[in-house]
Structure 1
């Protein structure tokens, strides 16, 4: 059991008060010598558990609290079962024959410094039968076990928070700038509780924080880029979190991805070239042609871009970025070896029709034009989340244009986190509580 600063020892009115006691008497209950019967001796401390035993319809974001009166807690286990055995979406390794699969999302808790109070770290599953098994010891070390059972509130159709999509996906190998992007199917108003329910763990410790692009989209980025060549795990403990009034998460999810080599591209637009380094060593300098900058729409943006997706073949239609057919500046082009760097239509791609201007003039519609050979090479090298750092134009990349999240300084990014505190990626606690306010 984890320990942190002792919480208050307020026992709820609905607490289960269990007195662990037994009486010491002679084997047959008689006292042939006529002496007074020995006094009863209590064994084990009193234990208070909330929610109360037998409680029904308990909100799943209610914390489990356990207190030992005149004793210490030596073990607390919270066991949950639903109609299907485990909550859908839980990820568990298959056990051996005859073995139960291990729950990858157990309800752990924090023990106070004096060892007599425990509170759960995570929420409970909706519609679950919950069994709390407590072992407590008195001053003489005598241990006794207490069991309390209750059930949690079912989640209602239309009031269930679901994970709609996420980037990256499990198994992906990504660049060092890769954010964790989570899209929900319903708006989230209790953002702090949801942020605190998502734990990011990396092999190389760093710190990061969440920002909300919309009420449905949350983004985690590290303070600086990830260290390369490491594994990152994202545990979304959404089951039981109250994302808005009466809306509860129903499933837990785990995302496991790998950060690959460190590929960083830099480009000063007036210089007409892009430099690509891998693990700190320049491996290619590419002649390019960027936006002609006659208008805002054909000005290449300056800022910290991240590569987002790539295509061997792509139809580029300006109508998708707000310039419909018939309007000044409309274009529709078939391009090869395209890598997206923003949501405002910027890609690196092959442009053999612009070969005469590569390395000498900026004449594109805002994209970074390359030769077929260079575009193919960059396409094949690029991973989702590789940084492309561009300077030299008067159009700044917006922080929410594509994955321009590093456009916000770390201080600004942290200030926009609802918790206002960084999250360490060492597997320690998230910055705040996942439980409902006042619970």
Structure 2
């Protein structure tokens, strides 16, 4: 009888016993205590046998951005890691029946043999620009792995656009169509830790924000000698103009979608490749000059109203009555389109900011990333 009672008690205890599941196992890559971790793969934290509930990673004093996967078993940093930097990681995971696990680790990323940085960005931070404005990023050295660098360039605007490489030191962002007026645009260049080539890594991120202003688009018909300026679709100015005389290619205004690039008052204009006294030589100081190409073309003031609206007599520029040229000068933003028609000389994409001469398909062909159109 006593034996039967003992067996019954043992059976009841066995039935009531709970199996405690093992605690989750958390791992991180790069592993803790790594002295020269790779940067290009970022930071990954993984939970085996549970779900990650918290991951906090710091690069020095800066919080590292990242995200969980759908199952919350994996966390990955949003971008590459900063070279030559100590990282500290704290992660917590929860398993079955509330069993939790926690890790704390640190590692240091590699110090690169060669570095790459952004030398310049156009437009400038805080600038207000025209609706045709590109984003031009120039690097301090050659980029061997263009795809890796291009992936690190994030443009936040809500507008479709793409990058196009011009050589191994410069990449340009253009939208498929002109920017919408009054749009905020932010470029985040997540370059730190990007492997741009053998032994070459980006060292610093860069953020530039700018605003697209009102839509000012000018059209010039060199055959009728007229320029029409519209702001937000409404005619703001009608200007009688004179374009290039067309006696040589140099003196022929280029047809195409130009962008205003800069302006100055006054500008000294000297005939290229000619000495004083030679035929075609000129040296003039010009008022209210707005540059629209790299081949010497401006919209500017000229006191030759006898030709404006009647004949093309300039060396290639678009000249207008001084008061109207002053109005255009004062209202022009960098990146305002100036669309010129009627000549035999075409604006080439590499002449100033002639990027709108590319079709969208041709523009996409200059990207190193898969085409998505």
Structure 1 CA distance, aligned partners of 2:281 and 2:27?
71
1:206 equivalent to 2:159? Answer: yes
Listed one character per residue, the Cα deviations across residues 188-215 of structure 1 (whole Å, up to 9, x for unaligned) are: 111111111111112xx21111111221
For 1:129-148, what aligned pairs fall within 5 Å after superposition?
129-148=86-105
> Which residue pairs with 2:307 in the alignment?
357
Alpha-carbon distance, 1:42 to partner = 4.6
Q: Is the 8 A contact 2:142 2:169 kept in 1?
A: yes
Alpha-carbon displacement from aligned partner over 1:316-339 (angstroms, at most 9, x marks no partner): 1233xxx34366544322101000
Identify if the C-alpha distance between structure 1 residues 333 and 112 changes in structure 2 by more than 3 Å, giving closer, same or farther: same
Is the 8 Å Cα contact of residues 129 and 333 (structure 2) preserved in structure 1? Answer: yes
Q: How many residues align?
A: 358
- Alignment pair present for 1:162 and 2:117: yes
Asked if residue 55 in structure 1 is aligned to residue 34 in structure 2, the reply is: yes
- Determine if the alignment matches structure 1 residue 400 to structure 2 residue 350: yes
Q: Indicate the residue corresponding to 1:274 in structure 2.
A: 227
> Structure 1 stretches of 5 or more lacking a match?
1-34, 86-102, 424-439
Looking at structure 2, the residues matched to 140 and 209 of structure 1 have their Cα atoms a distance apart, in angstroms, of: 49
The aligned residue for residue 313 of structure 1 is: 266
Q: CA deviation at 1:41?
A: 3.6
Q: Distance in 1 between matches of 2:197 and 2:80?
A: 15
Q: Distance in 2 between matches of 1:154 and 1:280?
A: 54
Aligned to 1:228: 181
Query: Which residue pairs with 1:25 in the alignment?
Result: none
Given candidates 70, 79, 102, the residue that maps to 1:122 is: 79
The 3-state SS of whatever aligns with 1:140 is: helix
Deviation at 1:43, TM superposition (A): 5.0
Select 1:382's aligned residue among 308, 325, 332. Answer: 332
CA 358–169 in structure 1, closer or farther in 2 if over 3 Å, else same: same
Runs of at least 4 residues off by over 4 Å: none
CA distance in 1, matches of 2:340, 2:99: 68
2:26 touches 2:102 (CA, 8 Å); kept in 1? no
Are 1:301 and 2:301 matched, yes or no?
no
In structure 2, stretches of 5+ residues that fail to align are: 1-12
Aligned to 1:75: 54
Change in Cα spacing, 1:420 to 1:363, as seen in structure 2 (3 Å) is farther
- Offset, 1:293: 1.1
Kindly report which structure 2 residues correspond to 1:252-291, keeping only aligned pairs within 5 A, or say none: 252-291=205-244
Between structures 1 and 2, the one with greater strand share: 2
Match for residue 145 of structure 2 among 187, 190, 197: 190
SS class of match (1:302) = strand
Asked if the contact 2:21–2:96 (Cα under 8 Å) also holds between the matched residues in 1, the reply is: no
Q: Which secondary structure does the structure 1 equivalent of 2:111 belong to?
A: coil
**CA RMSD of superposed structures (Å):** 2.1
Please, what TM-score do these two structures have when normalized by structure 2? 0.90
- Equivalent position SS for 1:265: strand
| Structure 1 CA distance for aligned equivalents of residues 251 and 127 of structure 2 | 33
